[in-house]
Amino acid sequence: MGKASRDKGKRGEREVAELLRDHGIPARRGVQYAGGNDSPDVVGLDGVHIEVKRSETLALYPALEQALEDARPGDIATVWHRRSGRRWVVVLHAEDFLAVLRASRAGTAA
pLDDT 10s digits, 62-75:
999 999 999 999 99
Q: What is the pLDDT of residues 18-41, one digit of tens each?
A: 999 999 999 999 976 554 556 899
pLDDT of 90 above 60: yes
101 neighbors 76 (Cβ within 8 angstroms) = no
Predicted local distance difference test score (pLDDT) of residue 32: 62
Give pTM, 2 decimals. Answer: 0.87
Predicted local distance difference test score (pLDDT) of residue 107: 77
67 neighbors 57 (Cβ within 8 angstroms) = no
pLDDT of 86 above 80: yes
The distance in angstroms from the start CA to the end CA of the chain is 49
